[in-house]
Amino acid sequence: MKAVVVYESLWGNTAAIARAIAEGIGPEARALSTAEATATAIADANLIVAGAPVLAFSLPSEKMRENLRANPGRAPSAPDLSHPSMRSWLDALPQGHGRSAAFETRIWWSPGGATAAIGRGLERAGYDPVAKAHRFMVKGAYGPLRDGELERARLWGAELAKAMA
């Protein structure tokens, strides 16, 4: 099975979760940023797991990313905007044939979120869901992850691998 875990991550929390999910899936899985997950890198993937942070109740928009670039506010470090948004990555995702799963990182258990839009984009490209979307929680607006979340991500990765077997 070829599995890729693709992420957008401005402060590293979603990237860390993506790496833990890939570990849980197994040695055949790779965690890739939206910049690394080129059409060639994901060609023939049987499973695409995709995740992003929730910003302002939704999948980060280009406007939100631009605002953060212009006005980083109280952020402990500048946001990593070196890779494209998950939105634009999904818009450019070539048609494929496989299964998918979506995840998000966030601080509050509030309505809205990123996974519905991620799931829609993956399905539109021909990747039907293999599991319910997952949320992973951080402690503050910029992280760090809550205790136990990396382990939960590894376990979810292992469940995804089992569901694909």
Ligand X SMILES: Cc1cc2nc3c(=O)[nH]c(=O)nc-3n(C[C@H](O)[C@H](O)[C@H](O)COP(=O)(O)O)c2cc1C
The binding site for ligand X (CB under 6 A) comprises 9-14, 53-57, 105-108, 110, 138, 141-143
Kindly state the smallest distance separating residue 109's Cβ from ligand X, in Å. 8
Kindly state the smallest distance separating residue 74's Cβ from ligand X, in Å. 9
User: Nearer to ligand X by C-beta: 14 or 100?
Assistant: 14
User: Nearer to ligand X by C-beta: 106 or 134?
Assistant: 106
Beta strand 98-106 with 127-129 is: parallel
Distance CA 62, CA 12 (A): 18
User: Nearer to ligand X by C-beta: 142 or 156?
Assistant: 142
- The residues, ordered by sequence, that sit 6+ positions from 56 with a Cβ below 8 Å of its Cβ are 64
Token readout for 109 is: 């258990």
Can you state the percent helix, strand and coil of the chain, rounding each to 5? 35, 25, 40
User: Nearer to ligand X by C-beta: 34 or 100?
Assistant: 34
Kindly state the smallest distance separating residue 23's Cβ from ligand X, in Å. 17
Token readout for 99 is: 């299964």
